[in-house]
Amino acid sequence: MDRKELLSHVDHTQLKAFASWEDIDTLCKEAIEYGTASVCVPPSYIKRIHETYGDQINICTVVGFPLGYSCTAAKVEEVKQAIADGASEIDMVINIAEVKNGNISYVTDEIRALKQAAGDHILKVIIETCYLTEAEKIAMCKAVTEAGGDYIKTSTGFGTGGATMEDILLFKSHIGSQVKMKAAGGVKSVEDMEAFIQAGCDRIGTSSAVSFIKGEGTKGY
């Protein structure tokens, strides 16, 4: 897979709590130079990025991040504000506690509510696989499908584990045909990126893709 095709699947990510504008601006410049699918950034930076770079860059942001236990109404307002500020893609974190409680209908309804708020904008649903059993992961595949989510995403990158090939293959067996997959967290090399894409992932979430391509190693997301 050539560099251009590989990077076209990457959500170039900087979500650390202490990320400065200098860090975000560097991320954006790299995204434009290397042709990544988007930048994935904290909500507070969306408006400034949009004002600085306009249509040169596709802005993705996070909602209910990273723990997912905000109430649904708060997440809906986050989505609306992010879109108003210039985001075109939303990566939401499910309410993991409700999955553990067996309240799958709550999670399904929440995804549906956020997709309704997002409208034609892309909604990616982070299920944080490191905290879920196989049965819970399968239930989330069905919830994302039923609720109309555009993507199912493995991880925030802030949990106890990240994307695994085992989970991607499990997703592939249980999501609906309209649901795409995003692997995030623990992507450690160009070879990892290629393997996830070849397994069917449409997006890869990492802060390190450009460093990998330039041969500088990993930065850490």
Positions marked active-site? 91, 153, 182
Closest CA to 11 of 216, 199, 210, 148: 210
Closest CA to 80 of 95, 71, 90: 90
Angle 29-12-84 (CA atoms, 0-180°, nearest 5)?
80
In terms of Cβ atoms closer than 10 Å to its own Cβ (0-12, 13-18, 19+), residue 119 is exposed
What is the C-alpha to C-alpha distance for residues 148 and 140, in angstroms, rounded to an integer? 12
Structure-block tokens of residue 210: 């450009």
One-letter amino acid at 215 equals G
